[in-house]
Amino acid sequence: AINDCVIVEIPKIEDHRGNLAIIEKEVIPFQVQRVYYLYDIPSGSSRGGHAHKELRQFLIALSGSFDVILKDGEVERRITLNNPSKGLLITPGNWRELENFSSGAVCLVLASNVYCEEDYIRDFEVFKSFKKLKNI
């Protein structure tokens, strides 16, 4: 459900040399099977525009900022990520769009599984039918 998509604080160690953020296994509720990142994103560009059937993901704005729009077919939420010590957990069955990338933005994604195109729903009407069918 859309309300399961929460901001998670990433523990960090701060000293006069700067900050060190640490993601150990208790920080995110799944085992990480894949890491990827979006960077060199042209201004005005939007990414995402799909949902996942099973995949769980954790998004971090490692640098700069961007907005994540979450949709469940009824409710819509816009979350700005702009802090490398906070991540957004995205649970399955939620449509996501990423936009409003600042210059130099880097989006790091930790994912619960390897890449699988069959796990994507890239059509919003199909997504809404999937939600009804699964009653999620």
Catalytic residues: 50
Backbone torsions φ then ψ of 23, nearest 5 degrees: -110, 100
Question: Long-range CB contacts (< 8 A, 24+ apart) of 22-27?
Answer: 23/58, 23/87, 23/110, 27/87
Restricted to residues 89-108, the positions that interact with ligand T46 (CB under 6 A) are 96, 98
Instruction: Give which of 120, 5, 2 is closest to 72, Cα–Cα.
Output: 2
87 interacts with ligand T46 by CB under 6 A: no
**Of the candidate residues 2, 47, 85, 113, the single one contacting ligand T46 (CB under 6 A):** 47
Tokens for 94?
């939620």
The minimum distance between CB 97 and ligand T46, in angstroms, equals 9
Q: What number of other Cβ atoms are within 10 A of residue 38's Cβ?
A: 18
Strand partners, 7: 88
86 binds ligand T46 (CB under 6 A): no
Min dist CB 68 to ligand T46, Å, is 8
- Size of interface with ligand T46, in residues (CB under 6 A): 10
Residues that bind ligand T46 (CB under 6 A): 34, 36, 38, 47-48, 57, 96, 98, 109, 115
